[in-house]
Amino acid sequence: MRVCTQCGRTTDATGDCPSCHGSLITMTRLEVDGNAALAAQPEEELIAGTKVGDYEIEKLIGSGGMGNVYGAVHPLIGKRAAIKVLNARFCADHEAVRRFVREAQAVNKIGHANIVDIFSMGDLPDNRAYLVMEWLHGETLMDRLERAPLPVEHTVAILISLTRALEAAHAAGVVHRDLKPENVFLVPEDESFRVKLLDFGIAKLETRRAPTRKTATGMTVGTPLYMSPEQAKGIAIDGKSDVYSLGVLAYAMVCRTTPFEDEASPVEVLHAHISKTPKPPHKHVKDVPPALDNLILQMLEKLPEDRPAMPEIRRRLKALDGGGFETFTGETRWPITPMSGTPKLPAKRARWPIAVGIAAVVIGSGVFMIVRAKTAEEAKPVVVAPKVEPPPAPPAAPAKGTLELVVEPSTATVLVDGEPVVLAKGRAKLELPVGDHAIATNATGYRATEQSVAVTSETVTPVAIKLAKQQRNGGARPRPRPTKDVDAVVDPFDKKKKPR
């Protein structure tokens, strides 16, 4: 049976619709959550000239496990757009589609410059949902990394833009869940670039539609190489999951490989995210700035509460090179520098499907079950049973050092990294992660101070802070003139003549 994409009538005819001459799409019956439904065949493509909302399809420009992306144009005003049409198996669950719509609405209310704009959506006559998005010219971050290594300043610029986009999304209650180089787009503008983050909400939609089993302890979705430990475990996630994935993305930008690229299977990659400590970036690239190396490792902490927040990440990125990146904004741009002469490194793409649903992750028994996205060649669940090995050693605790403060006056207020410190007779001793820490001190009647102190591993770093008193009237108080009798009463009206 075939359905017209314009008038919605069903027919057994071939070619165009006999009623309105619109395009026809082949329909198939499928079962969703026990209910029968009609949907387009997954391989059905929209042909050139097909009307989708106010736009006409020009050509297919991309496809994936979730659906197809088409180039389209408005026939009257000539505005170009990209239209993503979701596969029927994701559109049959109307509640899942509504959840996706709410997420898209939340992101677009922000209207952030570093998030791809979605300005329309709807349903085709065969019930397949579609999104109308801004047309982007340029290349993905994956394409850029495959061509040549990124300079550190470009890496920092891209990361600053992404922290702004993600912070805005998290404020709207949206967690991206699928950060990876393919979802970061670089749009050239004159002699600069603009960073765009793609595909908000898709991961949650796919989580909803993934098959479930009685043995499942959780369900998650994403790209294994970039998934957080929480995603690998199939437990609830929040914005700190995006922090981890952004750390993996930063690692890939600096090293051109991911922390667990060499694992043999998707299951072992997920296991590594949960239990293995990544190799520091400077082990791959010698000239990584220590501050960036340390920041990436902190973003890759196993426990969400041990990872820095997005504003803190952005502050530390800007502080690199003595604040040399302070000029970068939410629409981060930078001059293009020639890369001729830079050796090409072997590109490494993810070797597994983009979307992987985890039906069960039972670490202790060594049994892992993966439900893979359906492709043209395979559609059956894959069960992987790795060799039973001894439990891995617990991950090493992050290196820490001791900061010992002596403050005068003892009534002063002290903030370390924005957190108040309790002083006991003007002293305090703090256990802090290795790295730079900001100390702000103030007290009534004294000049406030701010400074940065480096804490080193397993050592005591003493810091003495003595606030200077504020000067009155903008200068030092004048000294009184000495008199012979300090107890004498001076008559202010007694004007003595000065000798000539």
pLDDT tens for each residue of 466-493: 888 887 655 455 555 554 554 555 555 6
The b-or-e profile of 279-315 (16+ CB within 10 A means b, else e) is: ebbbeeeeebeebbbbbbbbbbbbebeebbebebbbe
Q: Over the chain, what is the mean pLDDT?
A: 75
* Residue 347 within a domain: no
Residues 126 and 172 in one domain: no
Distance CA 45, CA 25 (A): 8
Residue 392 lies in a domain: no
Residue 201 is assigned to a structural domain of this protein: yes
Indicate if 56 and 27 belong to the same structural domain: yes
Same domain (yes/no): 189, 327: yes
418/276 same-domain check: no
* pLDDT (average), residues 288-306: 96
Q: 135-158: per-residue pLDDT in tens?
A: 998 999 999 999 988 999 999 999
If asked whether residues 88 and 143 sit together in one domain, one would say no
129 lies in the same domain as 229: no
What's the whole-model pTM score? 0.58
- The pLDDT tens digits for 346-366 are 344 444 443 344 333 333 333
233 belongs to a structural domain: yes
CATH number at residue 291: 1.10.510.10
Closest CA to 409 of 395, 398, 397, 423: 423
pLDDT for 468:
86
The answer as to whether 280 is a domain residue is yes
pLDDT above 90 (res 202): no
First-residue to last-residue Cα distance in the chain: 122
Q: What does the pLDDT read at residue 136?
A: 92
**What is the Cα–Cα distance from 371 to 380, expressed in whole angstroms?**
8
| 400-434 residue pLDDT tens | 888 888 888 888 888 898 888 888 888 888 888 88
- For residue 494, is pLDDT > 90? no
* 146 and 294 fall within a common domain: yes
Share of the chain above pLDDT 70, in %: 66
Q: Say if 346 falls within a structural domain.
A: no
Average pLDDT of 248-267? 94
- Both 377 and 431 in one domain: the answer is no
**Structural domain count, the chain:** 3
In a domain, 494, yes or no: no
Q: Taking 90 as the threshold, does the pLDDT of residue 311 lie above it?
A: yes
Residues 6+ apart with CB under 8 A from 280: 293, 297
Q: Are residues 146 and 116 in the same domain?
A: no
**Taking 90 as the threshold, does the pLDDT of residue 162 lie above it?**
yes
Catalytic site positions: 178
Range of the domain at 467: 400-471
Residue 449 and residue 428 share a domain = yes
Q: Provide CB contacts within 8 A for 207, sequence distance 6+.
A: 177, 219, 220, 221, 357
Model confidence at 463, in pLDDT bands (50, 70, 90)? confident
The CATH number of whichever domain residue 79 belongs to comes to 3.30.200.20
Final residue before a domain boundary, out of 110, 134, 158: 134
Per-residue model confidence (pLDDT) at position 193: 84
- Please check whether residues 375 and 410 belong to one and the same domain: no
Has residue 116 been placed in a domain?
Answer: yes
Residue 109's pLDDT is what?
Answer: 77
**Residue 430: CATH number of its domain:** 2.60.40.1120
Residues 453 and 431 in one domain: yes
